[in-house]
Amino acid sequence: MRAEAGTPGWRIGVIGGSGLYDFNGLEDAQEIAVSSPFGEPSAPVTIGRISHVHFVFLPRHGKGHRIAPEAINARANIDVLKRCGVTDVLAISAIGSLREELPPGSFVAVDQFIDRTHGRTDSFFGEGLVAHVSMADPVCSRLAGFAADAAIAAGAAVHRGGCYLAMQGPQFSTRAESRMYRQWGADVIGMTALPEARLAREAELPYALLGMVTDYDSWRDGEHVEVADVLRVMAGNTALARETLMQLAALLPIERPASLIDRALDSAIMTASAQRDPVLVAKLGAIAGRVLG
């Protein structure tokens, strides 16, 4: 089934994390290189559809996992997805667990973040064009709900809700850090969701993150993270992730109701029109052209 002409439909941008470097099963699939004024994105995008849902897939680490977490150009990635006309963004990421009840192999529909990254460019705005968006609720609950339902339909064990601690990396946590993050109330840990989620909000794109648990991080006595163990669990998680995307297409309704996040910039711009940097305004054409005129 397809949406009728003029009916708002779904165009889901999928950011594939570790282990998810392609999206097989798309109809009319084609790979396209899309440029961004914010630099090079991680890879060309793959555009296609499943039934009435259009997808734009982008591997966060590039093909073959060539880009380290701290080197990902998240601004370019989000800008490119916006230029491709996506309505919503679903990130699928490998994560570590900070809770016994979130074992390796399970999925977590994240709903909050703690930022421990540094040195990453975390906004499209800045000197010459200042804007402030709300991040109180950083995840789109509607999309997260659909993603959780789809993962369950695919056969995954899913936990709805969880706080994601974004660490700098590329090294894994020390045991002391891992235990401290648990005390802070974090449930899972990863290296890539921020500034990605912040930038999606500035781009007025509802964002959800479905985390695939690969390990228990370093907080349990006598245990630590090894890449070999992560890769072994990741193989099974990746197959479930691909099936989850197929199930998501089946679950999404034909029409896409508007979201408040679609207008996140309505009252966010602080800089007076006459004082705006024209170079930055031009760069923000895809991200903020709706409010900048």
Per-residue pLDDT of the chain (293 residues; tens, 9 = 90+): 333 344 579 999 999 987 787 888 899 999 999 999 999 999 999 999 999 999 999 999 998 899 999 999 999 999 999 999 999 999 999 999 999 999 999 999 999 999 999 999 999 999 999 999 999 999 999 999 999 999 999 999 999 999 999 999 999 999 999 999 999 999 999 999 999 999 999 999 999 999 999 999 999 987 777 777 777 777 778 888 999 999 999 999 999 999 999 999 999 999 999 999 999 999 999 999 999 98
Assess whether 22 carries a catalytic annotation.
Answer: no
Give the span between the Cα atoms of 25 and 16, in whole angstroms. 15
pLDDT at 1: 31
| Fold of the domain built from segment(s) 11-292 | Rossmann fold (3.40.50)
Beta bridge partners of 213: 95
* 75 close to 121: Cβ distance less than 8 angstroms: yes
pLDDT at 3: 39
pLDDT at 232: 77
Q: Which of 79, 88, 115, 217 is catalytic?
A: 217
Q: Which of 79, 111, 215, 266 is catalytic?
A: 215
